[in-house]
Structure 1
Amino acid sequence: MTDAIGADLSADVGANLPYLRRYARALTGSQARGDTYAMATLEAILNDPDSYSRALAPKVALFKVFHGIWASSGAPLDAEDGGPAARAQEHLGRLTFGTREALLLHTIEEMSFDQIGEVMELTATEAGELVDIAYAEMAKSVSGRVMIIEDEAIIAVDLEAIVSEMGHRVTGVARTEKGALDLAAREVPDLILSDIQLADNSSGIDAVNGILQQTPGIPVIFITAFPERLLTGEGPEPAFLISKPYTEEQVRSAVSQAMFFASTETLRA
């Protein structure tokens, strides 16, 4: 590929290929099909280097080529099994056409509306409208029980309001590890929002791991004022992490993503 399209272009494409694979797999519900689309994108660039616009950011240019292929194929869904991926695709299939692409680009790939517009050949306003539609439709089709582990009362109330406005039901708020374990024993949540440092100096990580030992597979979002302590690369790290102070949009995005795809990795104490 390097000889055919140049070292610089090859480096740009190679640096963003993992993100394209992640996006394609989430979009199709199939690792094999997602990788097939990613490979088709590379082949398209190889056959026509001008299809990759140097006027755009490298990631946006790569995803734009992908979307040309994706749109021409009819945007199929193909979940491989009956697990979380299949359930996610079932929900995705109910969304208005184009909204699932815009949603994943915005929440998973963290693209701006301008960038989404470039990828999908829309205006930034149209891209934003698609994301808003997706959030509204998700609130109707994917609602569940959310447990909050947070010792700061003001933050707990704020999180509860955001989650409730999204259409989810809060099972309760726990301020300590013991309180969290007791709350989960009374009603198993579909999602956990957890602070790291709790009121009695107990650990939100320990609380979450205790809950997951009893009920594996619950998606978890950690909220902390010290994210750098959890992102060292030295061991298992949370899939969903919000920094304090957070914005409502960050919470909405993380909750939607976690609920929708119902998968997470969590820390070992």
Structure 2
Amino acid sequence: MKKKILEVEHLQKIYESHGYGVPVLKDINLTIDQGDFVAIMGPSGSGKSTLLNLISSIDQPTKGVIKLAGQDIVHMNAKALSKLRKDTIGFVFQDYSLLDSMSLLDNIVLPLSLNGAKAAISLKKGKRLARQFGLFEHLDKYPYQLSGGQKQRGATCRALIMEPEILFADEPTGALDSRSSQDLLDCFKKINEENATTIVMVTHDAYAASYAKEVYILKDGKIELHLHKGDSQKEFFNRILDAQAAMGRNLQ
């Protein structure tokens, strides 16, 4: 039996604006098992980024239940939440967030260094991840010497250095060209299959979403469609495109 890594029940998010409540998410229910690779899609304003912020503990819901790794993160105190983030969660954002004053290797191992790990252990883990992501020859370079794809793969290595149970990625290919996007997505697929790392990725791109095993499509704050991958990525990609067309708008 698969272990549930994320459980969401009757999730709502309402933002207050000029005295009025603006509902962004309306009664979201979903379960993600350990080892899943899930993509969340939807047009602008559908609530996909808000959903990611809630389930990754960045924001708090108006109502509903969020259990991450079996723990109720809605009612968790700040100290416990900080520990959960450190031990359980990895983040990848569109803008890389690498430090320009540090080499790629130092950027990758930074979370371990901040947590007091021995230098030899940190460097060994960092180099192993870099090799897995095709970055071993670039470890002495600084971010300004790297391509966008290399920086994003480096940021992903940094997110994985603490061996999180779940990786949250917010539009990770949004600033990349098609080749760099494919390289990153191939790495996502590899760590999901080889390391059993759970991945939850927000994306507007049907091709990126086709790398996932499950796709949730949001519209107007609700889950409009839930697609399961079969044996063929190409067939899954076509079904995602068909879903976009059936919903009457491009999911940008």
| Same fold (TM > 0.5) | no
Greater strand share, structure number: 2
Whose relative contact order is higher, 1 or 2, with alpha carbons under 8 Å and at least 6 apart? 2
- Point out the structure with max Rg over C-alpha: 1
Q: TM-score, normalized by length of structure 2?
A: 0.29
